[in-house]
Structure 1
């Protein structure tokens, strides 16, 4: 009798659960356009197997079905892919920022990042955001410029050794540079990624990025069953290794503080030092709390920065007129390439450089899209979409929508001149927007400008093959980012 009652309750719960899902599923299908659906696998069958073809197919949906498209997955699951700037603005400017949630796909990051600033929501997100914001004060960033400039010089040395070898895939070289910068500014440690790209920690970070990309395309990637696969076990091993490294650095630095060893309070403080001095509710952050944020800074800062720098250099290599104009501006500002004294203030005063960077981030945004899960009923495209529905806000599509940018495939920095009449609010969001925008955008732009300025002052960039794009969490080129370098 008890078993029968339990069985009845389980069945009733399942039926009620599926009925609620069905109502939302039908609401979305009845009110938004969607590609042809397989009766079991939904729209998953329209996507090819390779990452570049998936990206290409994804972008073609907006041409065929409009600015907002519904995609479906097994068991009555549906999400809305949004590129209508008005709807994106509605979502990102919701005053209830504290309770904004990332999409379900971000849960795959939690074994490594925990619920740090990227994946947290509610009071935890609000508290962490408040703690971390001072880390990106201009006085702190000014100190970071020294690190960026020093590592840029090492980057230039590596590029000089390759200049005579023909085409160079700059992505892995820039990736090592970005890793050196992010480790020194976030943890105050030197990993020498540029000098020793085969060290255990450096290779593990790179392998972790690839492993996450593979998980995104795995049939079980969005479920707990993925952990039982060989790929899931491999990801777990990498996570443990990276956690051990970060824990060791945090523990050693905390011990220094407890031993009353001085920690610089000025501009040379790193991200870890700031977190070790922070309190939440009157109590210091635990080592686990700090690891979440340091790992999040690592994840959010090195791959995206690598793509931003590499794609900017790629675009400049294919547009010699823009490159020459930028070179002249840099030369006027800094004089000799051997005596470049880079400061935040000097970089901020370069108007054409700013236009070039903005246009680069428009045409090839490092983050092609961001995920959200609605926590309250929201009006999208004139339809009230209930809480719980997952969304993808397509940054790449908005940046390439001819309705937002005429001739969008053309690389034209003049779009961002002060005289331009083109109004850009939520049609241009390379760092997201609203209350949950990228907290590290000033850091990223400073790093990008410092490295690009030094490269352009030292080299004339010549074009290589056209890139073949693939869009996972970070926009990348499946065939590398190849250019030729000619010393100035």
Structure 2
């Protein structure tokens, strides 16, 4: 591709510079790319990253502009964020999730973000440390019962833990009474990914097994939402009659919903927001914990050092918020797990107006993808990138770009719950490794499953033994 300037029109007008288009695979590769989109999305993104930091991939009627450099991520997610709305996958998932914080845009998103910000303030999260520690202690007690009793799916255990934490810290309710929630969210994730692959071309009312499972799951989630609101409304109503509205997320959402234009609109907005909060609030942390213990099992020397730190810092007591400053190695273990297996593995945007990213022209309407999974493995910023090494996060970063590591996103849409998620992951890791050793069941092959979050296909069966 030539980069020479094209001659301009007569009359002394400066020569035109031809547009610089990112390279990409030939169109004859379309069938293989479509197959990868459906069956091997991480392989598709890794293959694109191998071609360069900026790649253009045509898949059917869509052309994906995939950028894999920290400066590209900074431009899209922070510097020019107003030009980039939620893109492929999330825009289609809006049919599934509605206008929650994950999918909404513009005024609706700003209102939701402003409403949720106080719920996640540092002071409030620090005050919830004892709740997180108690839930982590309950998890250890459950795992203890499996010692010598055969494998247990720790993904299910971590999911139950994160739902318990979410319910008590953000909603001031007990989500363990709603055992169907986790399965319903799994179905919703499946449907959201189906929407991305099919580009929203299949009606939700179509009598396909996938669609029918989704409709049942959404009905179940709406039922749970109604029960949570009914249980919570007296407190919110008391606040509305002159007292202070509760500072938990559910009270804030109920108050906002009651101010919407009409009861039906308010109910739908409340349902969308709460379902999104429940999904995003438990799924990403459960995923992080699953990958953390998979990696600890594969690296016993790291597990031993983490265990030594947990025992030295905590002794036999539960962790407190101030202990996060001392649990530095365990924090680094969690950070390194999120580097290799970021729970939010891809960030999709759609350019509202034409732009230039890293010297490449991006047309209006283009699908722009930033993939933390590949960015976190960029050899220019991460030496020996496939190696699990928590030491990367101890001491000096060596001048590494802030945007080379974005497990919680970046810019205005940086994950509002990141502090709670990190505290939860560090506390759980510390309490489990202090007492127990989790070993992957013989014969089980761990396979990443990139959905809305980076899950493990088929769960993670692990044997529980003494540390």
Aligned-pair CA distance for 1:95: 4.8
Mapped contact 2:351–2:367 kept (Cα < 8 A): yes
Aligned-pair CA distance for 1:49: 6.5
Mapped contact 1:51–1:471 kept (Cα < 8 A): no
| Pairing partner for 1:304 from 284, 293, 303 | 284
Q: Which runs of 5+ in 1 are unaligned?
A: 1-26
Please tell me whether residue 351 in structure 1 is matched to residue 328 in structure 2: yes
Q: Which whole-Å CA distance do the structure 2 matches of 1:316 and 1:81 have between them?
A: 32
Q: 1:280 to 1:387 in 2, by over 3 A?
A: farther
Identify the residue that residue 251 of structure 2 maps to in structure 1.
273
Q: Which whole-Å CA distance do the structure 2 matches of 1:69 and 1:141 have between them?
A: 40
Aligned-pair CA distance for 1:214: 4.2
Q: Which runs of 5+ in 2 are unaligned?
A: 1-17
Mapped contact 2:36–2:43 kept (Cα < 8 A): no
Partner of 1:439, secondary structure, is coil
Partner of 1:392, secondary structure, is strand
Identify the residue that residue 21 of structure 2 maps to in structure 1.
31
Partner of 1:165, secondary structure, is coil
Identify the residue that residue 126 of structure 1 maps to in structure 2.
110
Identify the residue that residue 45 of structure 1 maps to in structure 2.
32
Q: 1:62 to 1:282 in 2, by over 3 A?
A: closer
TM-score (norm 2): 0.85
Please tell me whether residue 440 in structure 1 is matched to residue 420 in structure 2: no
Please tell me whether residue 62 in structure 1 is matched to residue 49 in structure 2: yes
Q: 1:43 to 1:263 in 2, by over 3 A?
A: farther
Q: Deviations over 1:221-271 (max 9, x none)?
A: 5335354251224322321221232133224422443256999979x9532
Identify the residue that residue 14 of structure 1 maps to in structure 2.
none
Q: Which whole-Å CA distance do the structure 2 matches of 1:315 and 1:113 have between them?
A: 32
Identify the residue that residue 314 of structure 2 maps to in structure 1.
334
| Pairing partner for 1:74 from 42, 60, 76 | 60
Q: How many residues align?
A: 445
Root-mean-square deviation (Å)? 3.1
Q: 1:281 to 1:130 in 2, by over 3 A?
A: farther
Identify the residue that residue 103 of structure 1 maps to in structure 2.
87
Q: 1:453 to 1:356 in 2, by over 3 A?
A: same
Identify the residue that residue 416 of structure 1 maps to in structure 2.
393
TM-score (norm 1): 0.82
Partner of 1:311, secondary structure, is helix
Q: Which whole-Å CA distance do the structure 1 matches of 2:257 and 2:105 have between them?
A: 18
Q: Which whole-Å CA distance do the structure 2 matches of 1:135 and 1:82 have between them?
A: 33
Mapped contact 1:69–1:80 kept (Cα < 8 A): yes
Q: Which whole-Å CA distance do the structure 1 matches of 2:308 and 2:241 have between them?
A: 44
Q: 1:485 to 1:129 in 2, by over 3 A?
A: same
Identify the residue that residue 7 of structure 2 maps to in structure 1.
none
Partner of 2:374, secondary structure, is helix
Residues 174-253 of structure 1 aligned to structure 2 (within 5 Å): 174-192=158-176, 199-217=179-197, 220-223=198-201, 225=203, 227-230=205-208, 231-253=210-232
Partner of 1:33, secondary structure, is coil
Mapped contact 1:184–1:270 kept (Cα < 8 A): no
